[in-house]
Amino acid sequence: MMDGAQRHQGAPGRAGPDPAGLNGTSYLDSGYLALPFFDDTHRAVAARLQGWLRDNEAAISALLAQSPKQATRGAITMLGDAGWFAAALGEPVDFRAICIMREAFAYRDDLLDFAFSIQVLAALSLLQWGSQDLRRRLLPALVRGERVAAFAMTERDSGSDLAAVALAAVETAAGYRLTGEKNWIANADIADHVVVLARTGSGSIGLSLFVADTSDGVDAVPVALIAPRPFGDLRFDGCLVSKDRLIGDNGAGLAIALDTLEQMRMSVGAAANGFARRALDEARRHVTKVRANGRLAEIAAVRQKLAQMGVAVHTARLAVAQAAWEMDRGGEGRSVSSSVAKLVATEAAQSVVDACVQLHGAAGVVSQSLPERLYRQVRSLRIYEGTSEIQEAIIGEAVTFGFLG
Ligand SMILES: Cc1cc2nc3c(=O)[nH]c(=O)nc-3n(C[C@H](O)[C@H](O)[C@H](O)COP(=O)(O)OP(=O)(O)OC[C@H]3O[C@@H](n4cnc5c(N)ncnc54)[C@H](O)[C@@H]3O)c2cc1C
């Protein structure tokens, strides 16, 4: 009998169809993985991932042709079957492995990274702070990709400022009744479980984290994004959540939410690096093609742009590798390193993707061309899980008090 991983794998060594033009692509280069921040386990993860992505190219392309909802659900099943959520959610969690995975998934397509990262983000708070019983009941199906999770923190008036969250959780004999709205939530319209930050008291210690079932009175209102994904608002209309669905202590919700976001933050930078490397590869392919009068790459100004793109990618990858290593070793500077990595890499990816569009000229703004898709897909990374300005505020405080620089 075939296991899940085998079901999605072609025969070893067979390249298979290549509609995305990716055969021969190195999703992760050996020079980067040879950095002392990584060890043999990370190189093994990268090698397995590279093989899996190549062997499953036909299945991935077929997925991406579906609607965003179907494709994301399908990707979660596929990633779970292949054991990628299990690889991400070990104990202890290996953030360098998560970054390697996110960079490679984002290089292949934003949707793979989206499907992977939201499930991991939501499961992480459960893994690290949930009771034994809650973990036993909910985590296995999430890790296998059989159920889908969302991580619902933001409200329209409290995105950057989570301490102002208003969604109410009122304690009753039967459990907590959740009433209110969450906005801008990834997986909103496909999630089975929602990790939700809700108000159980006043002030920043009056917030608690719960895991609710969407079938218990949570309605999704889809919101269309410039890069279409399952996404939207969640309405809680007296949704009953039993007391054993509390993640961590009553009142500890904000601290757990911020800790979870902080740990995953540098991995947003890793995804940004995947987009940036794809854009750089695509730009290189374009400018080295022979044209009527030579190659664009022979023009000094074009070379200079390539140099700027190369430097941006190189420095961003170093920042992410350092931050992930710091997170894994529990270093004192892990929080600020995670912010630096997210800021550097997402800003770099934005400029590299923009340069890729520019180097393609009109061909770069054709709808559904690769530069155009990357241009739309990369934009939200500077906004979610802490905007660039919020990262600057965190870094500015660290510099002020001598923790950085
Ligand atoms: C694609 C996508 C997916 C998302 N997925 C999720 C999800 O799954 N779960 C979830 O909970 N949320 C999610 N979000 C929401 C996201 O986390 C918020 O959009 C983000 O935190 C910013 O909040 P906001 O949109 O309310 O903007 P605001 O907080 O209103 O910020 C608006 C502007 O003001 C600036 N600003 C605000 N406060 C400060 C400050 N103190 N200092 C400096 N500048 C400031 C911001 O940097 C920004 O430029 C997602 C967003 C996107 C775009």
| 255-284 average pLDDT score | 97
pTM: 0.94
**pLDDT band for position 4 (cuts 50, 70, 90):** very low
CB 391 within 8 A of CB 339: yes
Confidence of residue 211 (pLDDT cuts 50, 70, 90): very high
CA–chain centroid gap for 157, Å, is: 23
Matching residue, tokens 């079957």 = 81
Give per-residue pLDDT as tens, 76-132.
999 999 999 999 999 999 999 999 999 999 999 999 999 999 999 999 999 999 999
For residue 2, pLDDT beyond 90: no
Does the pLDDT at position 14 exceed 70?
no
Residue with tokens 């059989």, as numbered in its chain? 146
Is 114 close to ligand 1, i.e. is its CB under 6 Å away? no
pLDDT at 196: 98
- Mutate which of 110, 160, 389 to test ligand 1's pocket (most atoms within 8 Å of Cβ)? 160
Selection from 21, 190, 192 nearest residue 109 by Cα: 21
Instruction: Give 35 Cα–ligand 1 centroid separation in angstroms.
Output: 33
Q: Is the CB of 237 under 6 A from ligand 1?
A: no
The number of beta carbons lying within 10 Å of the beta carbon of residue 9 is 18
Average pLDDT, the chain: 93
Ligand 1 centre distance from Cα of residue 50 (Å): 33
- Given a cut of 50, whether residue 231 has pLDDT beyond it is yes
pLDDT tens figures, 302-356:
999 999 999 999 999 999 999 999 999 999 999 999 999 999 999 999 999 999 9
C-alpha to C-alpha distances, 14 to 9, 81, 154, 268, nearest whole angstrom: 10, 21, 45, 32
Pocket test for ligand 1, best of 154, 261, 339, 397 (most atoms within 8 A of CB): 154
Which of 177, 378, 161, 141 lies closest to 269, judged by CA?
A: 378
Strand, helix or coil for residue 247: strand
Query: What pLDDT shows up at residue 29?
Result: 83
Paired strand residues for 241: 176
What pLDDT does 3 receive? 40
Rounded to the nearest angstrom, the distance between the alpha carbon of 209 and the centre of ligand 1 is 19
pLDDT band at residue 26, thresholds of 50, 70 and 90?
A: confident
